[in-house]
Chain A
Amino acid sequence: MTKVLLLVGSPRGRISTSTNVGNYILDTIRPNGFETSSLIIRNQLSSEDKISEMVKAIDLADIIILTAPLFDDCQPYIVIKTMEIIFEKKMQLEGKKFIPIMNCGFPEPNQITAVAIPIYRKFAETVGLDWFGSLAIGGGQMFHNMQKDSGKKLDELGKVANLLLEALNQISDALLSNENYQDIELKILPDFWYTRIMKRIVTWMNNIGWKRMVEKKGAQMDAKPYSQ
């Protein structure tokens, strides 16, 4: 059986968009003859034993799906650390397929494809992983907000998740047919809708939303705790 390993690279751990998108793919392919497992990178970096466990799981896998958020225009610390460990250990990764999936807070997926996806490509090239395809999800934080409180799965969120599910299904289909797919740049807010004027409106609403939310918690959003 083909072994698929999901590595969740969100510093939030299990309660994250990274977990949810990864699990959706695993759930879709599992009934079709794939052996799936997942590890939360944040937990695996906590001790040498756990690191060895993760290295072993990577060693055993045929396909590695690595989900993570964009932090400061690139991979989060825990993901870079994992890439460094894989590189340092000179692991034999030839023939293993690699699928990096990344989500970010801002709506534009090019925030991810500008640097983070090319960094993954360099990593894959360097350590010998086969590039199967990538997915960049703009506006992924929105799903976290919707799922965190409701406990709903991605396919229970209704219309807002349709485009995301379509992209995830495309990856599952590619895995089932064992054919690489073109890297996907997913705009959760499609261009025909997210026009210049809509950008301004969405931005304005987002900024007001943050201010209100912080005020509700009794704090001042634009506080400057450090003197200059």
Chain B
Amino acid sequence: MSAVIFNGSLSNQKDLIPLQKIMEEELKNIGLVPETYLLHQTDIKSCIGCFKCWDTTPGICTGVKGDIANEIAEKVIQSELLVFLTPLTFGGYSSELKKIIERLLGLLLPGVNLIKGESHHRKRYERYPSLIAIAFTEKEDSGEEALFGLLIDRHSKNFYPPKYKSEIIRDVKNLDSLRAKLKQIINDMELKK
């Protein structure tokens, strides 16, 4: 069983590295094999909004060529858990994380699924990975924090994780408390060993 970790830090940011390392260790401890993408060092091009992954080669992006986004999409859909790590960026994702999320559109079907009267994407696959989304910030801004939670709630209505959790982390220096926190989050996912 595997987990995919997207580290969305920008090239000049190191804060998410300890988080990523502890996350990897704790996932291994429960028997998951983590595969991490440090996104700013990974060759991923950005989505061009052509919908070829929906209408021409369903499920596979052929509008953008010459990178490993399809390979990553395959690993995501075959995993038990997807982890987003991002610097909190005006309440949302960093550009690096957002770039790969957009390239996962083909994992969903075109058209509409009405959920409580609101339009959302439809499932292409039976099962999607659970999601842990962690944003790092040193700012005290409850508005931005709430926005991140809301973004992950809405994302989850489209990407169907069986379980999901979003978390804001401010302190990445106290490694013991960071580990305890991540352990708890992973535990809450109730992933099977």
Flag if B49 contacts A11 (CB, 8 Å).
Answer: yes
Flag if A203 contacts B119 (CB, 8 Å).
Answer: yes
Q: A199-B117, A214-B55 are in contact. Are A222 and B73 (CB under 8 A)?
A: no
**For this complex, into which size category does the number of interface residues on chain A fall?**
35 or more
Residues in A neighbouring B95, C-beta threshold 8 A: 77, 80-81, 84
Asked if B176 is at the interface of the complex by the 8 Å CB criterion, the answer is: no
Residues in A neighbouring B187, C-beta threshold 8 A: none
Flag if A228 contacts B125 (CB, 8 Å).
Answer: yes
The size of the chain B interface, using a CB distance under 8 A, is 53
- Tally of A-B Cβ pairs under 8 angstroms: 155
Q: Mark B143-162, 1 if CB is under 8 A from A, else 0.
A: 11001001100110010000
Flag if A108 contacts B118 (CB, 8 Å).
Answer: yes
Question: How far, in angstroms, from A2 to B135 measured CA to CA in the complex?
Answer: 39
Q: Mark B70-94, 1 if CB is under 8 A from A, else 0.
A: 0001100110000000000111111
Question: How far, in angstroms, from A19 to B146 measured CA to CA in the complex?
Answer: 31
* Partner pick for A115 among B57, B91, B105, CB 8 A cutoff: B91
Closest chain-A Cβ to B104's Cβ sits at a distance in Å of: 8
Flag if A12 contacts B49 (CB, 8 Å).
Answer: yes
Residues in A neighbouring B57, C-beta threshold 8 A: 219
Asked if B54 is at the interface of the complex by the 8 Å CB criterion, the answer is: yes
Q: Mark A101-136, 1 if CB is under 8 A from B, else 0.
A: 000001110110011001110110010000000000
Question: How far, in angstroms, from A200 to B144 measured CA to CA in the complex?
Answer: 35
Closest chain-A Cβ to B109's Cβ sits at a distance in Å of: 6
Interface centre among B95, B114, B143 (most CB of A within 10 A): B95
Flag if B112 contacts A226 (CB, 8 Å).
Answer: no
Asked if A182 is at the interface of the complex by the 8 Å CB criterion, the answer is: no
Q: A74-B151, A222-B109 are in contact. Are A119 and B50 (CB under 8 A)?
A: no
Q: Spell out A's residues near B (CB within 8 Å).
A: 10-13, 16, 42, 69, 71-78, 80-81, 83-84, 106-108, 110-111, 114-115, 118-120, 122-123, 126, 196, 199-200, 203, 206-207, 209-211, 213-214, 217, 219-228
Q: Spell out B's residues near A (CB within 8 Å).
A: 10, 46-50, 54-60, 73-74, 77-78, 89-95, 98-99, 101-102, 105, 109-114, 117-120, 122, 124-127, 141, 143-144, 147, 150-151, 154-155, 158
8 smallest A-B Cβ distances: which pairs? A106-B119, A207-B111, A81-B95, A122-B90, A80-B95, A225-B59, A77-B99, A73-B154
